[in-house]
Amino acid sequence: MNFTTQMNAAKQGLITKEMQIVAAKEKMEVTRLRELVAEGKIVIPANKNHTSLSPEGVGDGLRTKINVNLGVSKDCCDLALELEKAKSAVALKAEAIMDLSCYGKTQKFRRLLIDTCPVMIGTVPMYDAVGALDKELKDITVDEFFQVVETHAADGVDFMTIHCGLNRATAEKVKRNKRLTNLVSRGGSLLFAWMELNGQENPFYEHYDRLLDICAQYDVTISLGDACRPGSINDSTDAAQIEELIVLGELTKRAWAKDVQVMIEGPGHMALNEIAGNMMLQKRLCHGAPFYVLGPLVTDIAPGYDHITSAIGGAIAAANGANFLCYVTPAEHLKLPDLNDMKEGIIAARIAAHAADIAKGLPGAREWDNKMSAARADIDFPKMIELAIDPDKARTYREESAPESEDTCTMCGKMCAMKNMKKILNGESICIK
């Protein structure tokens, strides 16, 4: 088959091996999947150089996917630990890993991830620019920015977050409309600073076609970053956020014209009552492109518990059209997450994603829940543990508090509703003293 990207193949009416794999995973007709890829409503991030990939689809009609962030910083530079996190993330059924390393020479770790991980790999090249080039931000040239992007693409990265929508007009909007938390996007704030220090336009906006050519060459899905995502519920749905979203919609069409796959990134921090409206705005302004959200976190007061604030918002967002959830850990806003933080974040995000899939009426989404309910009705604790989203935790809880009778738990004992109803409906007597 002769094609440049998954979207290019789909537009030609070709069905790629990646489409076949995704269709089988999703129980979707492959011809329908191909149509949605051609329309840009589904993406299959699959860099030609990521040979270990087991492809996944992100978009309408598919299971809500989750992403795990990891990577080293200057204060926590333990590559072995980050690799262990990556292996755990795959075992915990995350569909994507983003390497957000922002210190030192990161290519060795990035290549190791790509060579060994079957899940989608994403990066933010802007994070890597200072370390990879060994230069101060102000002194990095436009060509050097694109050099870093092409290096990531050649290494096999499946999707890249690039903040193309933060042009000088949007930056002025940020300055004129004071926020409580300014810009909290790391990549976005670095680009904002570069633009201010050099008095130049965002290179990824000004030379967007050059970026698209790189993405098309390697079939990198561009994840159009939200530099103006709200970092507090006070700043959500403001002028800067909406201005950038309009620009991202325009950039989406330009990418599709070059057969480059696109995802759109979204908030952030946002009150519950604004989430559904924001999802509708994104889908409308960005022409149905898949939406990738960080959270949204529905309150700002819960450091140490932001996996919960994020899961609440993520479930609502995905139920209203978001397709891809970026996990948030209990360590958010406080430190680099450890292995346990990562696990807590993954499980919370998976719960949110599954709850949303039920709400969206995704075929088969309720089957897992119905199996669990049947096991509970049968008082089959081994089966309940097997079906649990986190079997290890369920097993530990069961083992650390042993009941008098194996067909009860220490919460209800002989008053167990499941046990007693089953006996009574079978015509048996019960004894609860």
How far apart CA 255 and CA 225 sit, in angstroms, is: 14
Angle between helices 186-198 and 168-176 (to 10 degrees): 100
380 CB contacts (<8 Å, ≥6 apart)? none
326 marked ligand binding residue: no
172 marked ligand binding residue: no
Please report which residue ranges of 287-400 form alpha helices under DSSP H: 306-319, 339-359, 365-377, 381-387, 391-400
How far apart CA 384 and CA 375 sit, in angstroms, is: 6
What are the C-alpha distances in Å from 172 to residues 6, 52, 168, 231, 431? Answer: 37, 43, 6, 18, 74
156 marked ligand binding residue: no
292 marked ligand binding residue: yes
- Burial class (CB within 10 angstroms; exposed 0-12, middle 13-18, buried 19+) of 104: middle
Place of tokens 């970053």: 225
How far apart CA 359 and CA 315 sit, in angstroms, is: 9
412 marked ligand binding residue: yes
333 marked ligand binding residue: yes
416 marked ligand binding residue: yes
215 marked ligand binding residue: no
How far apart CA 303 and CA 291 sit, in angstroms, is: 26
How many CB atoms within 10 Å of residue 215?
24
354 marked ligand binding residue: no
- Considering all CA atoms of the chain, what is the largest pairwise distance in Å, rounded to the nearest integer? 83
Place of tokens 């790189």: 214
What are the C-alpha distances in Å from 10 to residues 26, 44, 163, 184, 222? Answer: 17, 11, 27, 37, 17
DSSP string, 376-414: HHTT-HHHHHHHSSSHHHHHHHHHHS--SSTTS-TTTGG
What phi-psi label fits residue 363: left (phi over 0), alpha (psi between -120 and 50 degrees) or beta? Answer: beta
307 marked ligand binding residue: no
CB-based burial, 45-67: b 16+ in 10 Å, e otherwise: bbbbbbeebebbbbbbbbbbbbb
The secondary structure element, H or E, covering residue 98 is strand 96-99
What are the C-alpha distances in Å from 16 to residues 10, 100, 262? Answer: 8, 30, 18
What are the C-alpha distances in Å from 151 to residues 39, 100, 135, 216? Answer: 29, 15, 17, 14
187 marked ligand binding residue: yes
269 marked ligand binding residue: yes
Query: Where is the binding site for [4Fe-4S] cluster, in residues?
Result: 409, 412, 416
Binding positions for substrate are: 69, 98, 127, 163, 185-187, 226-229, 265, 292
Residues annotated as binding site for Zn(2+)? 269, 333
Write out the binding residues: 69, 98, 127, 163, 185-187, 226-229, 265, 269, 292, 333, 409, 412, 416
